[in-house]
Amino acid sequence: MTNIAVHNGAWVLVGDGRRALFLQNHGDPDLLDLRVVEARVDENPPTREQGSDAPGRAYGTAGAPRSAVENADWHELEKEHFARAIAERINTAAESGELSEVVIIAPPRVLGELRQELSHKAKSKVKGELDKDLTRHPLPEIEKALAREFRAEG
C-alpha cells in the first residue's frame, strides 16, 4: 500500500491495449466516487484478420539467396497506436489545465508504452500507477482496488 491520495477532481485512467476509461473522482480520498469522463474502445481484430498479404521477399546481391520479410504484427501495432492516442489525450488535458492529477491503472506493458509517450508536464501530473488490468471491472470494483492499493495521505 502506498501513501497516495486520489483527491477530488483527480483523474483515474483505466486502460489496456483496446479499451480506456477516463474517470474523475467526485468524492474525497477516503470515499471515492469515480465517474466516467470519457470511454474509448479500439476495434483491434487479430493480425490474421488485419493483414492478408503473403510475406514479402528480399533479394540480396547477385548469388545471395532470397529471404522472406517478417510480417508486421498488425494487432500489436494497433495496441501501440492506441496507447499513443491515450497518452496524447492525457498530454492535452495536462497542457490545458483540464487535468490536475492522474492515477493510471493498466497492465505493465501498456504502462511502459504510456510512460514513453507522456509529455514532461503530463508525467508530473501522474500521482500513482497500478499495474493491473481492470478495464472490464465495474466502477465499484475499481474504487475498491484503488482503496486497497492507495491510502489517503495523512
Residues of the chain with pLDDT below 50 are: 154
Give the CATH class of 10-42+67-149. Answer: alpha beta
C-alpha angle 122/127/132, rounded to 5°?
100
Query: What is the reported pLDDT for 59?
Result: 58
Helix 74-96 to helix 108-117 angle (10° resolution) is 50
pTM of the model: 0.77
Q: Residue 154: what pLDDT? A: 44
Residue 131 gets which letter from DSSP? -
Residue 115 has which C-alpha cell?
510512460
Apex CA 116: angle with CA 39 and CA 77, to 5°?
65
